[in-house]
Amino acid sequence: MQAKRPWLAYGLLVIWALIVLGPLIDMLLLSFKDLAGIVSNPLGLPTQWNFSNYAQAWTQGDLLVYLINTAIVSVVSVVAILLFSSMAAYVIARFHFPGNQFIYLFFLSGLALPIQMIAVPLFILMRDLGLVDNLLSVILIYVGSGMSFSVFLLVNFIRHIPLDLEEAALLDGASHFQIYWRIVLPLIRPSLGTVGLLNFITAWNGFFFPLILLSDPNQMTVAVGVLSFVGQYATEWNLLLPALIIVTLPTVVVFIIASRQFIRNMTAGAIKL
């Protein structure tokens, strides 16, 4: 049944898009102004387009090092989450043993409370392990915090895979690991893409744990590194805003590329649940 007034729905969507995109467009325009122009006319168009702001922010802020560190953290975290969560989800979904449901609920309990509530014990643990000022500490935390939702999502996808496929593979002599690797993983590839995208964005934009665990400039991620433009008494807005645009671009590009598949997979997962 078609809507009687589609123009009303389109109008509301346009208004909402302007509300969401307005601050981003303004930030983009501000990134081309000098400091005086940002302070005196924050909502107007630049009178002079200072493209040199980006080059200065790149070199002065040492963004290449921060981007490399963030890429390492994000990619390693996502790969580890995809591997461990898919293995755990396969065992929970397909094997029935004492404690199976308890393990599943244990993973789900991670969704109940934010991990920031245990920041102090985590910092003490990383300090005792000698991992402070080490990217591995942030990676371990992101992997641990990302497992809960990932297992929850993948278990429901795996449970909807017909058992006949796995039984036929067992009759042909395949091991459970071969079934997991060659049958289950290819079939849940769309859900793995959703899990990977969500955790990549979380790791790339992560600020809290890199802030408390990484103080060495050579180990900082972009979310913490751009704070170098924020001083105690003044902020270099003409450099901070271009830096924010630069570090935001990778996540925007990744989401644009994967947005259609992401929306389709999330909808499919919601129906299955």
Sequence-ordered list of residues with C-beta below 8 angstroms from that of 244, at least 6 positions apart, any chain: 27, 31, 226
pLDDT at 271: 47
**Tens of pLDDT along 122-143?**
999 999 999 999 999 999 999 9
User: What number is the average pLDDT over the span 91-100?
Assistant: 89
Sequence-ordered list of residues with C-beta below 8 angstroms from that of 30, at least 6 positions apart, any chain: 38, 42, 237, 241
CB distance 135 to 72 below 8 Å: yes
In this predicted model, which residue has the larger pLDDT, 218 or 265? 218
Residue type at 157?
A: F
CA separation for the pair 243, 226 (Å, rounded)? 7
Closest CA to 261 of 164, 172, 193: 193
pLDDT at 68: 94
CA separation for the pair 123, 202 (Å, rounded)? 19
Q: What is the DSSP letter of 226?
A: G
pLDDT band at 269; cut points 50, 70, 90: very low
CATH architecture of the region 53-272: Orthogonal Bundle (1.10)
Sequence-ordered list of residues with C-beta below 8 angstroms from that of 193, at least 6 positions apart, any chain: 258, 261, 262, 265
pLDDT at 258: 73
pLDDT at 73: 95
Helix (H) or strand (E) segment spanning residue 146: helix 135-158
CB distance 53 to 31 below 8 Å: yes
CA separation for the pair 38, 40 (Å, rounded)? 6
pLDDT at 265: 59
pLDDT at 260: 67
* The model's pTM: 0.84
**Tens of pLDDT along 196-240?**
988 999 999 999 999 999 988 889 999 888 887 877 666 788 888
CB atoms within 10 A of CB 252: 12
pLDDT at 116: 84
**Sequential DSSP letters for 36-99:** HHHHH-TTSPPSS--THHHHHHHHHTTHHHHHHHHHHHHHHHHHHHHHHHHHHHHHHHH---TT
Token pair for residue 230? 């924020």
**Residue 22 pLDDT > 90, yes or no?**
no
pLDDT at 1: 45
Q: Where are the chain's structural domains?
A: 53-272
